[in-house]
Structure 1
């Protein structure tokens, strides 16, 4: 989606003169491009047709990557299941790779509830069935896999009502969410209440392992002793100023057992957080908020070497949640955790003595941080750079024996 204005397109052949044709297709965003403009559907809707052509990209939900999509809203008046299907008899009802994401909450404050990626066996169309409860609103996003997948689709809507022990909540013994981040294993009781059990420190962010001061070390630990209470759905997007170590931001390193630490600095600092003696597919995340609201640091990869987030700025009075986790396989990992104050030799220059820097002077080169914590370069000689050329004052001009 582009703002109104003038845009210039340059077309250049790779090697030789060629002829070409330009086709320009303009599309305005669909009426249900935004969640707050969602089209309402219900159990009597049956089949609908739509398009995401011209739609804007959206936030991620689980494994769905938030491509261009359109929105529908289902205000449930039943307890049961809702099926949304863009695949019929193994034939796609779409002409693009389709994701379906489901959210709860309000159109301005969405919470990822469920998702399904397109099925290769059905031409990458999507088919999802999820639980719905009377009185709950569900926002449905039909999107392409990535920014470039767009087209038209048909979708079948099917409801199945069930009788629950606890209407609007579920059956006795069902897993639920009591909304308390300091409990785990939440289930529906015989009194039709959703209640959880307080866990040991470190299992959830509400009862984290408290880091009272720095430096902090926890050696010889293992995530296997803390359970599997978080997954990719619980990882918020990387903050604009967050620190990412690695080539891309992955939400998969919290799908196994996980441990949560909490650190609240008393002054503004920069900290280094490091894992050693780990197994493969281990990850390190740093979040703010409980439940997690923002990812401020992330480092996950395959190798069993180390994970480290360096020079993370932290603010006095803000609690930072440090999560150690893994892929679903191998499920758990041993680890040694260290949290220390970042110890640059020269904090004002964000570096150590001998590190390269930039003194801002175009007439110097090989700038480095000195023992006096100054960034100093070596003056260039005439002819080394264009800002200090060898002046040719008159002609004819001859220079010899140069190298």
Structure 2
């Protein structure tokens, strides 16, 4: 038996025969396996105190906690007690080529710890101010660094405000009417008065034509965790009642970068989402009667907002059954999407939420070419049918080109929808005699020559 030999050293070993001492051998010996370090488990964590820097060897350590990335399979533990009077920062401090994953846990029972913060690879440190017993977990990131040593330090710094905490830390000022309480530069716990329309049930009521500007997000909190983009964490609410007799267009009109939602319901505490997470455009349009709630949230750091509610008469051709009838040669320009609503949820690309309709009748004796000809970015569909309420799609979701030709007789309905924020459109209907009147068709079009032995007619 050779050993015990410290896991971080090599040894010169000589073996001498018991009966014949002239029979001996010697050489360098490096142990193949190592006993685990004393702090291999949380319940045997090494105590560390303010100002300490401890050199740690990982050879022989086992894996007691699966935490973070990397391929390392050995970890060790340190323990310290915070008294609540200063900031405690515990860290892996090198050497520079040593990469580790760290975690911080808390609890009075070493066998039943609670994670204080997610495991981290960068930075490899944590700071705490609350009193309690903490356990610092450290694991080499890679199996190739397990045979290296690392350094763990604990730095303790007095609070900016003794007996209170650090400037900028969260606190509780004891006032239920304030939010976002934090320690001020004067070492006082100060909160921001909660904004009046912080929740749907305290939404600011809007009427047609209202325009509110210079509003602030100060004092707002997050009503719920949403799935929208951005890091903003406060929101405010507005409400309006639509009578179903006109189009209601509600917008966030400031230069701030915000995200907006629209909700509907008779009970402010039980709303149904109409549209969520709209960042561009920040304008939502509805025509159906009901009580609506408009939620505005900063995308990231916006501090101000503005809101406007406009009410517009329905567009005359807002639905297929009220489509504007076109005749050959008609060109209509400078038309507006104002007052238009979405006839149905389509599968087209783009974020536009309104559409208008045109109609024409093809007699089957010429080519009918209908097109949206403005510079606006739009999406078009063509439908056919004798009943405007029961149409069949001919083609849909055309974005480029915005021109469709038909030769078959029938009644057609042309739908135009903004791709995103287009406000105007123009349309034309051109009718051209067939190249081959006797065939009621054009050169190059598909046909049927009546011969079953031919293809590509």
TM-score (ref. length: structure 2): 0.36
- As a proportion of its length, which structure holds more strand? 2
Q: Structure with the greater relative contact order (CA < 8 A, sep ≥ 6): 1 or 2?
A: 1
TM-score (ref. length: structure 1): 0.40
Specify the structure having the higher radius of gyration (Cα).
Answer: 2
